[in-house]
Chains A and B, each alone.
Chain A
Amino acid sequence: MSTENTASTELDFNTPAAKRHRSIRALKDKFASASIAFGGISVIVAILLIFFYLLYEVAPLFESAKIERWQKNDQQVAPYTVPGEGKTLYLTMEEQAEIGLRVTDAGQLMFFNTRNGDIIQQENINIPSGATITSFAVASEYSGLLALGFSNGEAQVFKHKYKSTYPDGIRVITPELEYPLGADPIKVSDGPVEILALNGGEEEWTIIGGQQSKLSATEISLSVNIITDEVTADTNRISMPDMNIPAQKLLLMPDRRWMMIAGKGGKFGIVDMKAVGGPVVTQLIDATKGEITSFELLLGGNSVLISDDLGTTNQWFLVRNEKNEWLMENIRSFENGNTAISSISIEHRRKGFVTISETGNLSFYSTTAHRTSLSAAVAKGNVEMIALSPRSNAILVEQNNQLTLWAIHNEHPEISWSALWEKVWYEGYEEPEFTWQSSASTNDFEPKYSLMPLAFGTLKAAFYAMLFGTPLAICGAIYTAYFMVPAMRRKVKPFIELMEALPTVILGFLAGLWLAPFMEVNLAGIFLTLLVLPASIIAFAFAWSNAPKSIRYLIPDGWDAALLIPVIIISTYFSFAIAPFIEQMIFGTEMRYWVTSELGIPYDQRNALVVGIAMGFAVIPTIFSITEDAIFAVPKHLSYGSLALGATPWQTLVRVVMPTASPGIFSAVMIGMGRAVGETMIVLMATGNTPIMDINIFEGMRTLAANIAVEMPESEVGSTHFRILFLAAFVLFLFTFFVNTLAELVRQRLRKKYGSL
């Protein structure tokens, strides 16, 4: 009792202050444990974050489209009566989908509010006295150019335009009507204009009109008088031969050379307007077994879409054959059950279109991707007309004199598995191809998003890099770990590992600005070195092993590498020095010229060989370091046992050490591969970055990584192109994730195995 008392008076551990102090310390400890655990786990979080974020950016590409009734102030916009009288000839909307335009068969143009059908403005096309409207034509959705044909043989071309102004900060859109060919109708035919087609722009126009058997083409060229600003039109009317096709509709391509006729019984005729000796029918095709119900030009005017009453829509375009003739080919078809297609509408900004079937089923298609992004019922029974807005975010459906406005969410229809990874027949191409071409100057450009050339380029670059780097790195590692004297190893290993720290931008810059021009001149020297170097090493080694002991003992075993340095330098120099004579002897010219002229292989200055060497240089330290560790970590008693049984060092290495270390070497190669695949700067600087698919070592390539670096800064946020670049990054991520995880698992198993040995 007493001792306890004294103890407590001298040193009391349980004073309130001490207790408090202890509990604070315990609390701190707990808090620290928790936050450190959190910090540790956050490494996993980081990698998952990268994964899921990339996925989050990529996912919208593969979402299917959605359609719903247009919402205004959280209220569905109700169907409304069609504004104006008569039958609808044409229906469209302006940019913001706020104002619609309805062209009636009485020549009235109704500009109306798409939300409630209120008429905003009405314009009338002047119909020549005594005449009636007999036909109607659209040049292209994109340009807003329309034409009406009259019974007196005249036609009127007009264009609808919209102007946005911001009085008081509120947007006001005013519709306008324009007559690009003058306000007076133009005579295009002798009889009534029963069918009509037009195309053109700026100064040159062609209008084709007339009756089935008696068509004539009117070529108009406008010229502006510089002084008076007066526009004068030169017209030239050519009458066309009887085509013998019961024409229902005509189309004229923007080049005004090709006219297409849709006839009864599924007939499809192609007329070359600029053929020598006047217009001539070049092809007459049975486009369908049924009847053609819809006949339109796709955006850009190079493809024709033909829908029939059997529920199929076919895309056709002109393809040049070997004889330099242009022939219409059926490129791909889009099925829509078996119900007849009653109407189609063309997208204004993309290579896509919308069809509506007799049963009121709406389908969205993208031609390049050959994809149906949406199929939904919007009406019961037959629909008279549909019209897409320019941004493809709204669609008007006319049925039973009622208009319904629908909202569409269809951001990335041009992407599908086939568009990314399979051959696609692009407009104007002679056959299906893998092509990467993400942007061009024109609006009606067909983007070509095939990732194949990029993936191919990536693997090609990695392949040549590994071809150069792996043997050097593994052989070097074997020697360093197994044969080299420790004193030298201590110097050599950090030195080669220092290579790993060398910025790749420097390797790339040397490859592009020094190695590529050097190689162009010394191509033969490089190949010669490949032969001379091993031979001279062996020759020197043999000579050395037969040298007198007095010389041989000067340098102990394990210093061979140092001994070889001068040999290698001299033989390399020698190869480059004699290469010009050798190439003159064998090829009669420089090897580079021989490659192009004799082998017919194109030679780029910045080619795969340059990349292979430069990137090989970058992967050597990675592979070297891991392989060296793996071999060095093989327990020594294994090799001692083998040597004691009389095996030579080489036999021990090949039969005992290497099998044990092989998983480590495998993981080294995997990690090196991951690095080669993802390397950006070297490829960016050492190749021409052309996305071609050719294994040729003397040509360049474009890799996924370099493509991201080149195109990411100029791609629009949230666009399809932007997301595809994310997809490229995601593919790279997945590839390296797979490779690295595999390598790490192998290494972990190996470590366990060594532990047990």
Chain B
Amino acid sequence: MRQSFTEWTKSGAPWVWLNAGAVAICLIMVVGLLSLIAVRGLGHFWPADIVQGNYNENNNTIRLTGERVQVVSVPADQLRDSGVKVPEGVEEMQRTLLKIGNRDHGGTDFIWVLDAFMKGEQKPEMLFAAERREWGNFYGYLRGIKEDGKIVSSYDGYEKSAEYMEVWNDFQARIDRATLIRDQIEDIEKGRIGSINYELERLRLKERSLQLKEVTDQSRYQEIDNRRAELDADYESLQGELLALYTAANRDSITAEISNGKIVEFKMASVVRAFLPNDMGIGGKILHYFQKVWEFMSTDPREANTEGGIFPAIFGTVMMVIIMSVIVTPFGVVAAVYLREYAKQGFVTRVIRIAVNNLAGVPSIVYGVFGLGFFVYFLGGHIDDAFFPEAKPAPTFGTPGLMWASITLALLTVPVVIVATEEGLTRIPRAVREGSLALGATKFETLIKIVIPMASPAIMTGVILAIARAAGEVAPLMLVGVVKLAPSLPLDFNYPFLHLDQKFMHLGFHIYDVGFQSPNVEAARPLVYATAFLLVAVIALLNLSAIQIRNHLREKFKALEM
């Protein structure tokens, strides 16, 4: 049956289709967004080939080496306007963003080149890439290895050969040695010297507190001085050790040829990893990929957060979320139990429901402002006055920190827990409660032994959703305790182990900070995508598991009602 267009319109079918289109658009947007993040985030770790070519722009030829990062097409007119000599008849040109590295020799990491002017492109197998602790990546040909300033091995030429591989292997072995030494240095600097400094600070506070309490017993001051002398002695000996290690680490250096033909030299200790991307097989690349992913997840950031890993941010987020869950769970569950099991449905419960909805609807930045004013300055200030007078005028809890951030977020996520728990409680059949009461259990016993255990998956759902929300929330945290770079983790081996007053790093804030406040946005961008992907993946996983638990629970109680 053929329909005319007017008839078809009259039936309202086009509207239905448009509505269907809206759903489809929403779905496409979500999938598109997730895949955009995934592709950009995961692609970053793949070792890109290094290309080398002669770039000729305005009769000026230079040799360039680097990784292709991005290709865009530009209208030729625009290029002509900016003074580029584009051949007649060309409408559009491909422009490539090349990561040329060697910031210490060229000044910039990235350069835009027009593909048409790049001649004699090749991928020499001998070109190596080195990730360094400063100045970003290095690209060049290995030319020699020096030990204590004396050349121990060298190589000339651009072709792959056994001798070259020998030098290369020596290079790798020496990087491993330098890395080992660096680990030791780090252990001493961060671990042992850190502990000494921490204890010295504690001793200073102890002494100050004795002075404030006007203790005149000289033996106690003596005790502190003795301990301080011991620590100072330890510190001296560690300093000696460090000096030796630094000398050892700086023993080796390499020389390499960069794209403009210059031979440059740098310390082996500054190299994190060196590899020959053009010489890698697919297996090698996969191995390298996973090494990079692991490095990303497990190491500290380098170079103003634009390189290296995000471990402190992951750790900080997890710590905050754990403390928050400990606070939010009892509060949320009790409130839900009151609403569902104890309160008479009426005016009070209506008001509470309105309050819950408002708590859920108040903008998160308002929580941040409230947290900063009430928790940090008001409560924190009073805690400092009462318990930490010796540290004054430096604030202990009177400044943004982990504890206040957790409490603020607990307040922010409590509606999530309440709503989920309430839903779980609603689903428990009345008969179960009545059975328990009929057997003589008090209301509280019924609650603890029967209702709560049955509702525990729902509570769990609520807590998981709360965690997912807290992990992604940034605005309030910017005010109550997150920093771009925390000097130490909030959990360590120094008494009292968990430092609730410390500032911490957070994945969401890391994205904001590196993406928008970084001095080198271009270099940082892949890392931001990778961090974003990690965050999205964790949150999606948490949400999906919450949905799974909830569905499972629904099925279970459906069976009970039968």
- The chain A residues found within 8 Å of chain B, CB to CB, are 25-26, 28-29, 32-33, 35-37, 39-44, 46-47, 49-50, 53-54, 57, 471-473, 475-476, 478-480, 483-484, 492, 494-496, 498-499, 501-506, 508-510, 512-514, 533-534, 537-538, 540-542, 545-546, 560-565, 568-569, 580, 617, 620, 624, 648-651, 653-654, 671, 674-675, 677-681, 684-685, 705, 708-709, 712-713, 717, 725-726, 729, 732-733, 736-737, 739-741, 743-745, 748
What's the minimum C-beta distance from A734 to chain B, rounded to whole angstroms? Answer: 10
Q: Which residue of B lies closest to A706 (CB)?
A: B365
In the bound complex, residues from chain B placing their C-beta under 8 Å from that of A473 are 22, 26
Say yes or no: A505-B472 contact (C-beta < 8 A), given A43-B414, A705-B363, A709-B479.
yes
- Establish whether residues B525 and A678, one from each chain, have CB atoms under 8 Å apart when the complex forms: no
- Establish whether residues A729 and B334, one from each chain, have CB atoms under 8 Å apart when the complex forms: no
Give me 28 A-to-B residue pairs in the complex whose CB atoms sit less than 8 angstroms apart, sorted by A's number: A29-B442, A32-B443, A37-B342, A37-B343, A40-B343, A41-B348, A47-B359, A53-B370, A54-B370, A479-B16, A479-B19, A479-B23, A494-B547, A496-B27, A501-B465, A501-B468, A512-B516, A537-B21, A538-B18, A565-B27, A568-B24, A650-B11, A650-B15, A708-B479, A729-B365, A732-B363, A737-B358, A744-B354
B22, B30, B359, B442: the one contacting A26 at CB < 8 Å is B442
Say yes or no: A42-B331 contact (C-beta < 8 A), given A36-B338, A712-B479, A737-B358.
yes
Q: Which residue of A lies closest to B532 (CB)?
A: A506
Dominant SS among interface residues on chain B:
helix
Q: Which residue of B lies closest to A34 (CB)?
A: B342
Q: Does B106 contact A (CB under 8 A)?
A: no
Q: Does B424 contact A (CB under 8 A)?
A: no
Q: Which residue of B lies closest to A52 (CB)?
A: B374
- Establish whether residues A502 and B352, one from each chain, have CB atoms under 8 Å apart when the complex forms: no
What's the minimum C-beta distance from A227 to chain B, rounded to whole angstroms? Answer: 40
Besides A484-B23, A680-B363, 11 new A-B residue pairs in contact (Cβ under 8 A), listed by A number:
A36-B342, A50-B366, A54-B369, A57-B373, A505-B512, A541-B14, A560-B16, A568-B24, A685-B515, A705-B475, A713-B479
In the bound complex, residues from chain B placing their C-beta under 8 Å from that of A717 are 377
Complex-state Cα separation, A49 to B343, whole angstroms: 22
Q: Does B458 contact A (CB under 8 A)?
A: no
What's the minimum C-beta distance from A741 to chain B, rounded to whole angstroms? Answer: 6
Q: Choose among B13, B353, B447 the residue with the greatest number of A CB atoms under 10 Å from its CB.
A: B13
In the bound complex, residues from chain B placing their C-beta under 8 Å from that of A540 are 17
Q: Which residue of A lies closest to B448 (CB)?
A: A32
- Establish whether residues A37 and B338, one from each chain, have CB atoms under 8 Å apart when the complex forms: yes
Q: Choose among A42, A53, A475 the residue with the greatest number of B CB atoms under 10 Å from its CB.
A: A475
- Establish whether residues A729 and B366, one from each chain, have CB atoms under 8 Å apart when the complex forms: yes
One digit per residue, 1 when the CB lies within 8 angstroms of any chain A CB and 0 when it does not, for chain B 2-36 equals: 11010010011111111111111111111001001
- The chain B residues found within 8 Å of chain A, CB to CB, are 2-3, 5, 8, 11-30, 33, 36-37, 75, 330-331, 334-335, 337-339, 341-343, 348, 350-370, 372-374, 377-378, 411, 414, 418, 442-445, 447, 465, 468-469, 471-475, 478-479, 508-509, 511-512, 515-516, 521, 525, 528, 532, 535-536, 539-540, 542-544, 547
In the bound complex, residues from chain A placing their C-beta under 8 Å from that of B447 are 32
Q: Which residue of A lies closest to B374 (CB)?
A: A53
- Establish whether residues B342 and A725, one from each chain, have CB atoms under 8 Å apart when the complex forms: no
In the bound complex, residues from chain B placing their C-beta under 8 Å from that of A675 are 361, 363
What's the minimum C-beta distance from B405 to chain A, rounded to whole angstroms? Answer: 14
- Establish whether residues B473 and A503, one from each chain, have CB atoms under 8 Å apart when the complex forms: yes
- Establish whether residues A678 and B363, one from each chain, have CB atoms under 8 Å apart when the complex forms: yes
- Establish whether residues B3 and A478, one from each chain, have CB atoms under 8 Å apart when the complex forms: no
What's the minimum C-beta distance from B503 to chain A, rounded to whole angstroms? Answer: 12
Complex-state Cα separation, A685 to B514, whole angstroms: 12
- Establish whether residues B13 and A650, one from each chain, have CB atoms under 8 Å apart when the complex forms: yes
In the bound complex, residues from chain A placing their C-beta under 8 Å from that of B29 are 617
In the bound complex, residues from chain B placing their C-beta under 8 Å from that of A541 are 13-14, 17
The 4 closest A-B pairs by CB, nearest first: A678-B363, A650-B12, A503-B472, A40-B338
- Establish whether residues A506 and B369, one from each chain, have CB atoms under 8 Å apart when the complex forms: no
Complex-state Cα separation, A47 to B11, whole angstroms: 49
Say yes or no: A648-B12 contact (C-beta < 8 A), given A620-B26, A726-B373.
yes
- Establish whether residues A741 and B369, one from each chain, have CB atoms under 8 Å apart when the complex forms: no
- Establish whether residues B358 and A736, one from each chain, have CB atoms under 8 Å apart when the complex forms: yes
What's the minimum C-beta distance from B314 to chain A, rounded to whole angstroms? Answer: 15
- Establish whether residues A713 and B478, one from each chain, have CB atoms under 8 Å apart when the complex forms: yes
What's the minimum C-beta distance from A484 to chain B, rounded to whole angstroms? Answer: 7
- Establish whether residues A561 and B20, one from each chain, have CB atoms under 8 Å apart when the complex forms: yes
- Establish whether residues B536 and A705, one from each chain, have CB atoms under 8 Å apart when the complex forms: no
- Establish whether residues A39 and B22, one from each chain, have CB atoms under 8 Å apart when the complex forms: no
Number of A-B contacts defined by CB within 8 Å = 318
- Establish whether residues B334 and A478, one from each chain, have CB atoms under 8 Å apart when the complex forms: no
What's the minimum C-beta distance from A35 to chain B, rounded to whole angstroms? Answer: 7
- Establish whether residues B23 and A654, one from each chain, have CB atoms under 8 Å apart when the complex forms: no
What's the minimum C-beta distance from B349 to chain A, rounded to whole angstroms? Answer: 8
Complex-state Cα separation, A739 to B335, whole angstroms: 23
Say yes or no: A512-B23 contact (C-beta < 8 A), given A43-B359, A46-B355, A565-B28.
no
What's the minimum C-beta distance from A609 to chain B, rounded to whole angstroms? Answer: 16
- Establish whether residues B365 and A709, one from each chain, have CB atoms under 8 Å apart when the complex forms: yes
In the bound complex, residues from chain A placing their C-beta under 8 Å from that of B512 are 505, 508-509, 681, 684-685
Complex-state Cα separation, A562 to B36, whole angstroms: 21
What's the minimum C-beta distance from A463 to chain B, rounded to whole angstroms? Answer: 17
A580, A620, A712: the one contacting B369 at CB < 8 Å is A712
Say yes or no: A561-B515 contact (C-beta < 8 A), given A654-B12, A674-B361.
no
B37, B414, B418, B515: the one contacting A512 at CB < 8 Å is B515
Complex-state Cα separation, A677 to B366, whole angstroms: 12
- Establish whether residues A537 and B17, one from each chain, have CB atoms under 8 Å apart when the complex forms: yes
What's the minimum C-beta distance from A263 to chain B, rounded to whole angstroms? Answer: 52
Dominant SS among interface residues on chain A:
helix
A499, A560, A654: the one contacting B30 at CB < 8 Å is A499
Q: Which residue of A lies closest to B356 (CB)?
A: A43
In the bound complex, residues from chain B placing their C-beta under 8 Å from that of A562 are 24
In the bound complex, residues from chain B placing their C-beta under 8 Å from that of A729 are 365-366, 369-370
Complex-state Cα separation, A622 to B359, whole angstroms: 15
- Establish whether residues A534 and B22, one from each chain, have CB atoms under 8 Å apart when the complex forms: no
Complex-state Cα separation, A263 to B418, whole angstroms: 74
- Establish whether residues B361 and A495, one from each chain, have CB atoms under 8 Å apart when the complex forms: no
- Establish whether residues A564 and B8, one from each chain, have CB atoms under 8 Å apart when the complex forms: no
- Establish whether residues A501 and B19, one from each chain, have CB atoms under 8 Å apart when the complex forms: no
- Establish whether residues A44 and B352, one from each chain, have CB atoms under 8 Å apart when the complex forms: yes
- Establish whether residues A479 and B20, one from each chain, have CB atoms under 8 Å apart when the complex forms: yes
In the bound complex, residues from chain A placing their C-beta under 8 Å from that of B337 are 36, 39-40
- Establish whether residues B471 and A503, one from each chain, have CB atoms under 8 Å apart when the complex forms: yes
- Establish whether residues A564 and B2, one from each chain, have CB atoms under 8 Å apart when the complex forms: no
What's the minimum C-beta distance from B396 to chain A, rounded to whole angstroms? Answer: 16
Q: Choose among B12, B509, B547 the residue with the greatest number of A CB atoms under 10 Å from its CB.
A: B12
B15, B411, B444: the one contacting A28 at CB < 8 Å is B444
Complex-state Cα separation, A475 to B24, whole angstroms: 11
Q: Which residue of A lies closest to B74 (CB)?
A: A521
Complex-state Cα separation, A620 to B23, whole angstroms: 11
- Establish whether residues A679 and B334, one from each chain, have CB atoms under 8 Å apart when the complex forms: no
- Establish whether residues A564 and B17, one from each chain, have CB atoms under 8 Å apart when the complex forms: yes
Say yes or no: A545-B13 contact (C-beta < 8 A), given A509-B528, A537-B21, A678-B363.
yes
Complex-state Cα separation, A685 to B19, whole angstroms: 31
Complex-state Cα separation, A32 to B452, whole angstroms: 14
Complex-state Cα separation, A511 to B23, whole angstroms: 22
Q: Which residue of B lies closest to A682 (CB)?
A: B475
- Establish whether residues B27 and A495, one from each chain, have CB atoms under 8 Å apart when the complex forms: yes
- Establish whether residues A40 and B516, one from each chain, have CB atoms under 8 Å apart when the complex forms: no
Q: Choose among A28, A492, A510, A562 the residue with the greatest number of B CB atoms under 10 Å from its CB.
A: A510
Complex-state Cα separation, A545 to B469, whole angstroms: 44
Complex-state Cα separation, A560 to B479, whole angstroms: 47
Complex-state Cα separation, A512 to B525, whole angstroms: 12
Q: Which residue of B lies closest to A705 (CB)?
A: B365
Q: Which residue of A lies closest to B548 (CB)?
A: A494
In the bound complex, residues from chain A placing their C-beta under 8 Å from that of B2 are 546
- Establish whether residues B444 and A736, one from each chain, have CB atoms under 8 Å apart when the complex forms: no
A43, A509, A546, A649: the one contacting B355 at CB < 8 Å is A43
What's the minimum C-beta distance from B374 to chain A, rounded to whole angstroms? Answer: 5
Q: Choose among A541, A671, A737 the residue with the greatest number of B CB atoms under 10 Å from its CB.
A: A541
